[in-house]
Amino acid sequence: MCGIIGVTQTIDNSTGKIVFDALTRLEYRGYDSVGVAIINPTGELQIEKDKGPILEVGKKLEFEKLKGRTAIGHSRWATHGPPNKINAHPHISQNRRVAVVHNGIIENFLELKKDLISLGYAFKSDTDTEVIPQLIEYYLDQGKSIVEAIRTFTDTIKGTFAIVLVTVDEPEKIYAFRRDNPLVLGIGKNENYCASDIPAFLPYTNQVLILKDNELAILEPKNYKILNLTTGSEIKRTPKTITWTAEAAQKAGYPHFMLKEIHQQPQVLKTQLSTQMEVVEEIADVVLAADKVFSVAAGTAYYASLTLFHTIPSLTKKVVIPVISAEWDTVSSLVDDKSVVFAVSQSGETLDTIKGIKDAKSKGAKIISVVNVIDSSLTRYGDHVLYIHTGPEIGVAATKTYTGLALALWRIAYAVAEKREDIDSTYLSKFDKSLHALPEAIEHVIRKYEVKAKEISKWMTQKQSAFYLGRGVSFATACEGALKMKEIAYVHAEAYPAGESKHGPIALIEKDFPVIFTIPNDKNRKKMMGSVQEMKARGARTIGVIEEGDEEFQGVLDEYFEIPKGFSQFLSSILYQIPQQLLAYYTSTLKGFDPDKPRNLSKSVTVE
Ligand code: F6R
């Protein structure tokens, strides 16, 4: 999740300082390198950038002393190419006419880069971003205006972007345009701003305009206008006054980071889906060549890792052994040089997981690290590294990193299935369709059920205990649902495989005992009916996450959340989790707790 700032103003001695301050306020989005491009008083583009912490790089390169009226800045969270000075933004065109900063992924950058190289353009970085200034300069050289160049460019590229561009041809203008990645405008008196998020410019102006998809903003110090990128026609929109404090602005108006992160899931999962196809393919080959497959993970990451256990055996007939990191010693002697071991971890720093992985590596196993934090310890042990690209997660309880890790593993399962010649093509196309429909389906579930989740949570605040039941992959979903409820609402929530619950736990059921069921329309659905009836007969209050239109369960459950069709066989561990995240969040906040900072927990567990 890169951070972007752009400013254009009538004076030139404070621009560097404004950009530097704005970048430090975007620090919470995560970064590995940072840079600024300014059109200096002689009308040239000056670029200053490097790898490292924002404060350190900004001081070293004296961002505050940069002179000029128009500047753009960027804090990078690497996707294409390692974090280093060359890959840091801004990127500049061959003849230094155009500079850009970018958040998002240009999916067809390799083709575009090849075409531009054949036209004589030289590239310096490994990034997808560098094609942007080069292609725009190419269009300008062909006589297009800058607006025409941008419109042709957005027609040509595939992928997601928030792009902010400056050109020496028009030194007092900033061009900002987006598709699927955020951009907001800050409107001042003698200065205008654009940024990935409001906190960047909040100390200077509270007049804010949200740029929408497929819109282009043209900023000058005293004017601004917004155009529709497809039609070129002007859009009139008036700024809104923001009354948030800086801290509230970092939460984008949400009361807690956790709720913001729940709502971010559609966007970050969409980003992940457009990255690292080749890494996913390589990993699928490694899995197919392995004798034994293990996964090692803790907590939420362990529940996400169970995706492998529920997909790979049926696709490959290989045994998958999911191991809780702290229990690694139990399986250690089974690992050899024909084994593949998945390290699944959002932080990449969980000590128990690192210990298991070090041991597996010493036995010659191939290591596949699936992580969120770039360059974290587990990436260094990985023969292959798949990033989940969810951006930093500030809420201590994992939400978007759970769905991000699970999605990465579902993607690997899909790639494995695709490589098998004996897999039915209808199965594959349904799987593929579910993957691409997932972000929108999550958005739909949040929109439809946030109020209902809050309602049910009011009742949950009175409860000391709850059961979470599921079968097969839904048992993993139930475990994660119960963990969230324990962690932030301090309810004693226990997950059981639904079939096992009658072997003891059912003794606890009394009138109004909460039981939360995960019931996709999969091969276990029928058996789940038996479990619901067993609990109901003993007075439990039954709450189910079911497939849309499942009338049989609607008639039996006390409360239900309906999940769009098409996800029962694929990705249910992600989509059926969303109402459970909301339930935990609202139970916690209605009890007066801070879900971002649950007691006794920390974001990264670096002790054994
Ligand atoms: C739960 C949670 C923890 C972590 C666990 C592993 O919300 O965040 O259970 O999942 O500590 O952490 P990572 O994924 O960093 O290895």
Region 409-435: mean pLDDT is 95
Asked if residue 445 and residue 501 are part of one domain, the reply reads: yes
Domain boundary residue, one of 200, 219, 247: 247
- Tell me, using a 6 A CB cutoff, whether residue 332 lines ligand 1: no
Model pLDDT for residues 558-608, shown as the tens digit of each residue: 999 999 999 999 999 999 999 999 999 999 999 999 999 898 887 777 676
Whether residue 541 sits in one domain with residue 588 = yes
- pLDDT at 82 (0 to 100): 81
Question: Which amino acid makes up residue 201?
Answer: F
Q: Which atom of ligand 1 is nearest to the CA of 401?
A: 14
Round to whole Å and give the CA distance between 476 and 272.
22
Residue 447 predicted with pLDDT over 70: yes
pLDDT of residue 199: 85
Q: How far is the CA of 601 from the centre of ligand 1 (A)?
A: 10
Predicted local confidence at residue 172, as pLDDT: 96
Is residue 603 included in any domain, yes or no?
Answer: no
The Cα-based distances of 295 to 305, 326, 409 in angstroms read 7, 12, 11
Residue nearest ligand 1's atom 9 by CA: 299
b/e map 177-214, b = 16+ CB within 10 Å: bbbbbbbbbbbbeebbbbbbbbbbbbebbbbbbebeee
Residue 606 falls within a domain, yes or no?
no
Active-site residues: which are they?
Answer: 2, 603
Paired sense of beta strands 224-228 and 234-235, if any: antiparallel
Does 371 lie in the same domain as 256? Answer: yes
Q: For 259-283, how does the pLDDT look when each residue is reduced to its tens digit (9 = 90+)?
A: 999 999 999 999 899 888 999 999 9
Of 212, 227, 247, the position where a domain reaches its end is: 247
Q: What is the structure's pLDDT at 606? A: 66
Domain membership flag for residue 433 = no
Do residues 5 and 23 make contact, with C-beta atoms less than 8 angstroms apart?
yes
Let me know how long the chain is: 608
Strand (E) or helix (H) holding 570: none
Q: Tell me, yes or no, whether 240 and 271 share the same domain.
A: no
Cα R_g (the chain), whole angstroms: 25
Any ligand 1 atom below 6 A from CB of 298? yes
* Alpha-carbon torsion (308, 546, 485, 440), positive or negative: positive
pLDDT tens digits, residue range 227-237? 999 999 999 99
Which domain does 255 fall in, by range?
A: 251-423
Say yes or no: CB of residue 305 within 6 Å of ligand 1: no
Higher pLDDT, 407 or 29: 407
Q: Name every residue whose Cβ is closer than 8 Å to that of residue 337 and which is 6 or more positions away in sequence.
A: 363, 364, 365
Higher pLDDT, 457 or 32: 457
Q: Report, as an integer, the average pLDDT of 316-325.
A: 96
Same domain, 223 and 298: no
pLDDT category at 197 given cuts 50, 70, 90 is confident
Instruction: Give SS3 for 61.
Output: coil
* Closest residue by Cα to residue 270 from 177, 400, 419, 176: 400
Q: For residues 476 and 308, give the distance between their C-alpha atoms in angstroms, rounded to a whole number.
A: 11
Tell whether 419 and 486 lie within a shared domain: no
Mean pLDDT of 496-518: 95
Q: How far is the CA of 347 from the centre of ligand 1 (A)?
A: 8
Provide the mean pLDDT of the chain: 94
What DSSP string runs through 485-545? HHHHH--EEEEEEGGGTTTTGGGG--TT-EEEEEE-SSTTHHHHHHHHHHHHHTTPEEEEE
Residue 531 CB–ligand 1 contact under 6 Å: no
Of 90, 94, 44, residue with least CA distance to 67: 44
> Residue 301 C-alpha to ligand 1 middle, in angstroms?
6
C-beta of 301 in contact with ligand 1 (< 6 A): yes
Q: How much of the chain, in percent, has pLDDT values that exceed 70?
A: 99
Strands, sheet with 240-241, edge to edge from the N-terminal-most edge strand? 45-51, 33-39, 70-76, 3-9, 191-195, 184-187, 207-210, 240-241
Is 487 touching ligand 1 by the criterion CB < 6 Å? yes
Burial class (CB in 10 A: 0-12, 13-18, 19+), 299: buried
To test the pocket of ligand 1, the residue of 347, 485, 577, 608 to mutate (highest count of ligand atoms within 8 Å of its CB) is 347
Q: Domain holding 29: CATH number?
A: 3.60.20.10
In this structure, is residue 188 part of a structural domain?
Answer: yes
Residue whose CA lies nearest to ligand 1 atom number 15: 347
Answer whether residue 432 is part of any domain: no
Residues 256 and 177 in one domain: no
| Model confidence at 226: pLDDT above 70 | yes
Q: Is 581 in the pocket of ligand 1 (CB under 6 A)?
A: no
How much distance in Å is there from the Cα of 300 to the middle of ligand 1?
Answer: 5
pLDDT exceeds 70 at position 50: yes
Please name the residue whose Cα sits nearest to atom 3 of ligand 1. Answer: 299
Mean pLDDT of the region 482-507 = 96
Q: Which uninterrupted H or E stretch holds 395?
A: none
Q: Which of the 8 DSSP states describes residue 200?
A: G
Is residue 104 scored above 90 in pLDDT? Answer: no
* Neighbouring residues of 462: CB distance < 8 A, sequence distance ≥ 6: none
Assess if residue 608 is contained within a domain: no
What integer pLDDT is reported at residue 257 of this predicted model? Answer: 94
Query: Percent of the chain at pLDDT above 90?
Result: 84
Gap from CA of 508 to ligand 1 centroid (Å): 29
Among the candidates 201, 229, 247, a domain finishes at 247
For the CA of 399, the nearest atom of ligand 1: 7
Q: Are residues 583 and 482 in the same domain?
A: yes
CB 205 within 8 A of CB 18: no
CA of 298 to the centre of ligand 1 (A): 6
CA distance 258 to 589: 11
Q: What is the pLDDT of residues 344-397, one digit of tens each?
A: 999 998 989 999 999 999 999 999 999 998 778 899 899 999 999 888 788 999
Read off the amino acid at residue 545.
V
Rounded distance between C-alpha atoms, residue 487 and residue 508, angstroms: 21
Instruction: Give residues with Cβ within 8 angstroms of 500, minimum separation 6.
Output: none
Q: How high is the pLDDT of residue 30?
A: 67
**Residue 496's domain is classified under what CATH number?**
3.40.50.10490
Which pLDDT score is estimated for 551?
97
Ligand 1, atom 5, lies closest to the CA of 299
Whether residue 255 sits in one domain with residue 228: no
Number of independent structural domains in the chain: 3
Query: What spacing in Å lies between the alpha carbon of 499 and ligand 1's midpoint?
Result: 27
Confidence at residue 83, expressed as pLDDT on a 0 to 100 scale:
84
377 lines ligand 1 (CB under 6 A): no
CA distance 374 to 310: 27
Q: How far apart are CA 450 and CA 422, in angstroms?
A: 42
Q: Whose C-alpha lies nearest to ligand 1, atom 11? A: 299
Protein residue with its CA nearest to atom 6 in ligand 1: 298
pTM of the model: 0.80
**Residue 105: pLDDT over 90:** no
pLDDT at 250 over 90: no
> Same structural domain for residues 286 and 195?
no
473 and 503 share one domain: yes
Whether residues 587 and 449 share a domain: the answer is yes
* Average pLDDT of span 245-250: 74
Q: Which atom in ligand 1 lies closest to the alpha carbon of residue 405?
A: 14
Residue 9 located in a structural domain: yes
Q: Would residue 434 count as lying in a domain? A: no
End-to-end CA distance of the chain: 31
Q: Are 325 and 296 in contact (CB under 8 A)?
A: yes
| Residue 346 Cα to ligand 1 middle (Å) | 7
